[in-house]
Amino acid sequence: MVTAIVDDAPERVPLDDDGSSRPLSSTAFHVRFDRFMDPRTLIRQAYCLRSEQADVVGFEGCTNGISDTLPRYDPVTRTLSIYLAEHLAPDTLYKLTLLAPREGPDVGLRAFDGVPLESSIVKTFRTLADPADVPELEAPPADEDAPSCDEIAVALRTCQVCHGSKGLEGEPLSVPEGFSVERPDLPGLIGRTAHQTQMGNDANTAQDRAARFGANMPLVDAKRSPGNSYLLYKLLAHTPPDPEDTLAENEAKRLRSSLVVGMPMPAVAAVEEGLTAPAPLTQEQLVDLSRWIAAGAPCP
């Protein structure tokens, strides 16, 4: 089962008579899921935004819908952000419908293991009358504050005991467990197929829309897609749960059993061998890693 919460507008605006918020015409929408999603399903055809109020069952029923939207997915926060490429009409009633797949290979939102959104989710809202100074659209601008390559190398320092020049016991590694996350080697992760995902005749070719989610997935996606970057999932699968998070029960276990294989990363299993294990990345570090990938993984 997949459930989601829709949040409109990063800005909080005056409440309507029914207690709902009234967003500006330049608003963005943020949908947070309780499961890790298949980013291949988080496309414009999987939701309908329009001023007509009739119910929408499938995307073919989304007549007169606003198609100029830009979806972005962050697997760390499990959030789909929908940005507008054009302003909504002011003081107008709209309906946003997130589509659950119907039977068969229908367009709709699915978790990474193919489980569909339980049922379509509908949010109805009325935009505010535009102020005199109409705000800019919130279409995702270039993230000028995205972490640098040096900052990412620092965040991944805990991983360097296996993926660096020295091993868990401080001995030099001739081959750092397949790849290195030290600063000079970070560009080599971009577009490189994670060996734990390799399969078929094209095992060495990283794919962004494989027939099965996760097959031949790059360590870091070269097309600015955190949701198609195996390095993030490898870390997320072993991140201690946050009691305040809405992550579905056993979701990390499902991730480990169907996508992320091999030892944990960082290697917490080292404790059982009497070695000093590296600490897991913090939520802030994981968010920074996702932002870095979304910004194109800049690493001059």
Q: Round to whole Å and give the CA distance between 107 and 149.
A: 37
Q: Round to whole Å and give the CA distance between 203 and 211.
A: 13
With a cut of 90, say whether residue 108 has pLDDT above it. yes
DSSP 8-state assignment for residue 263: S
pLDDT (tens digit per residue) in 67-104: 889 999 999 999 999 999 999 999 999 999 999 998 87
pLDDT > 90 in the chain, percent: 53
- Compute the radius of gyration of the chain from its Cα atoms: 21
Q: Where are the domains of the chain?
A: 4-126, 149-294
Three-class secondary structure of residue 61 per DSSP = helix
What's the pLDDT at 132?
A: 78
The arithmetic mean of pLDDT across residues 133-143, rounded, is 81
pLDDT (tens digit per residue) in 27-46: 889 999 999 999 999 999 99
| Phi, psi values for residue 47, rounded to 5° | -150, 160
Determine which helix (DSSP H) or strand (DSSP E) holds 235, and give its type and residue range. helix 230-236
pLDDT (tens digit per residue) in 140-191: 877 889 999 999 999 998 888 778 876 555 555 555 567 888 899 999 999 9
Residue 12 binned pLDDT confidence (cut-offs 50, 70, 90) = very low
DSSP 152-207: HHHHGGGGGGTSSSB-TTSPBPSS-TT---SGGGGGGGBTPBPGGG--STTTTS--
- Taking the whole predicted model, whether its pTM rises above 0.75 is answered as yes
Residue 271 binned pLDDT confidence (cut-offs 50, 70, 90) = very low
What's the pLDDT at 5?
A: 79
Residue 6 binned pLDDT confidence (cut-offs 50, 70, 90) = confident
Mention every residue, 6+ apart, whose C-beta is less than 8 A from residue 48.
Answer: 56, 59, 61, 62, 65, 95, 96, 97, 99
Hey, which residues does 172 pair with through a beta bridge?
166
Specify the CATH class of 4-126 in words.
mainly beta
With a cut of 50, say whether residue 270 has pLDDT above it. no
